[in-house]
Structure 1
Amino acid sequence: MSRPAAVVVGVGAEQGIGAAACRRFAAEGHYVFVAGRTPAKIEQVVATIRDDGGHAEAVTTDVTVEADIIALFDRAMADTADHAPADLVVSNTGDNAIIDFRALTADQFEHYWRVGCFGGFLIGREAARRLVPLGRGTMIFTGASGSLRGKPGFAHFAAAKAGLRMVSQSMAREYGPQGIHVAHVLIDGGVDGERVRKFVPGIAEAKGDDGLLNVDAIADTYWQLHRQHPSAWTQELDLRPFKEDY
């Protein structure tokens, strides 16, 4: 039998949630489709997986381009000698920046919505189209603090992430009875990844040990969601460092 397959969309730096999920799924025996915008970054993730004895391939993908997402799923859902149709999908899309609401342009608002919400819709729709005929599978959306509350300077981000949360809830209610586990994971805190360390120098030291979310720990949770028994599926959960205020 060919090995099971997974699709992770929105993969960037190796020290990030998407890459960590790819590594975890590969370690569990999955053939992983590593999808992201930057070829050099996703190729590096694939190289690391292969060096560890896993199986993966990079697929350059713009999550806001419908044709890219359709092509990705056509590829991932094929039944080949290397892998079975993918039954585990992660939408890890998102972009963020602090922008004063009065200075926020229409183009900027649309950009963040397209990456954070519209891209997730495309991924979820194509996953549903392929998974429903299989009668099984897991669809995980990466959320954020902004999924629940808007903070100053983050109206564009919160609007996108709140919209994505509603997409996940609607999908869960529509496709759960058909055997598809749809989950939304709120990442409620700073992530100890390349992006945060680059744009907020010194944050890891300021937060102290385990003050930021560990990307491999997040990936562990994604894997646990995939392995849940259907009588006790989680639709939404939040992850935050133990030091984070509630």
Structure 2
Amino acid sequence: MSQAKVAVVVGVGPGLGSAIAHKFASENFAVGLIARNADQLTEIQSEIQTNGGTALIFPADVTDAASIKDAFAQIKSQLDAPEVLVYNAGAFQMAGILELTPEQFENSWKVNCFGAFVAAQQILPAMVEQGRGTILLTGATAALKGSARFSALAVGKFGLRALAQSLAREFGPQGIHVAHIVIDGMINTERVRGMIPEREEHTLLSPEAIAQNYWQLYNQDTTAWTLELDLRPAVEKF
């Protein structure tokens, strides 16, 4: 079992999830990495370990409650009860109301909202017992407004925002900091640059800069907690 504090990042890919995991590992946290893609997790784990950090991988499907519960049981056994949970999983199905299938709509809600609910249930008892903990939920512009062809994403992200508010009001008085982070813009990843190669770098959110904000949220004093944080490039219209 790890002697370091434990942070769990759910939804670890080569962009923001990886940057958050790297940041907490660099601050001497043992990091649990959760995502469906085991090969991708192994690659990010190797990068963290090469930099002197501690990371273990726990492949799981966030649409499956049993899969999430099993991953967190392994984390508690192999590392320890997490002090930090970052829920960064997301699914985006861009389609009109009449084009979406019920299965696509349900899957988007499960990835964007349901998985966060189940994950929070796994870590809250230990956090309450310790009287401290941090839960950071990655939101999006779609958490604030529904747009044409964005219904599946908006419903899931609206739900995640509501979950953050409910968690904060129930568990904040017990020492648990819950924050919802609105990512208002496109993140600078290899996939995004491939989609829009003409976009200049300063118009995209830096994953490392976002991760630094997550770290700052974790470090906030209990007398001045943030519930919701908007992050966007300086040139982003809002």
TM-score range, shorter chain: over 0.9
Aligned ranges for residues 181-200 of structure 1 at < 5 Å?
181-198=177-194, 200=195
User: How much is the aligned-residue C-alpha RMSD, in angstroms?
Assistant: 1.4
Partner residue, 1:11: 12
SS at match of 1:127: helix
**Secondary structure of 2:182 counterpart:** strand
Partners of 2:65 and 2:201 in 1: CA distance:
41
Per-residue deviation at 1:100?
Answer: 1.9
**Cross-structure match for 2:235:** 243
With normalisation by structure 1, the TM-score equals 0.92
What is the percentage of aligned positions where both structures have the same residue? Answer: 41
How far is 1:84 from its partner? Answer: 4.4
The alignment of Structure 1 onto Structure 2 pairs a total of residues equal to 237
Give, in whole Å, the separation in 1 of the partners of 2:102 and 2:83.
37
What residue is the counterpart of 1:76 in the other structure? 75
TM-score w.r.t. length of structure 2: 0.95
Alignment match of 2:202 (pick from 198, 203, 210): 210
3-state SS of the aligned residue for 2:138? Answer: strand
From 98, 104, 108, give the equivalent of 1:108.
104
The 5 Å alignment of 1:1-246 reads 2-13=3-14, 16-78=15-77, 83-198=79-194, 200-202=195-197, 205-206=198-199, 208-246=200-238
Counterpart amino acid of residue 215 in structure 1: P
The CA deviation string for residues 7-26 of structure 1, in whole angstroms up to 9 with x for no partner, is 0001122xx11110000000
Conserved? CA contact 2:63–2:107, under 8 Å? no
Q: Give every structure 1 segment of 4 or more consecutive aligned residues whose post-TM-superposition deviation is greater than 4 Å.
A: none
- Give the unaligned 5+ runs of structure 2: none
On the 8 A contact 2:140/2:183 being kept in 1, the answer is yes
Partner SS for 2:201: coil
Aligned counterparts of 1:84 and 1:58: Cα–Cα separation in 2: 14
* Counterpart-to-counterpart distance in 2, 1:128 and 1:43: 27
How far has the Cα of 1:209 moved from its partner?
Answer: 3.4
Letter in 2 for 1:46: Q
The letter for the 2-side match of 1:231 is: T
Q: Any conservation in 2 of the 1:5–1:31 contact (CA below 8 Å)?
A: yes
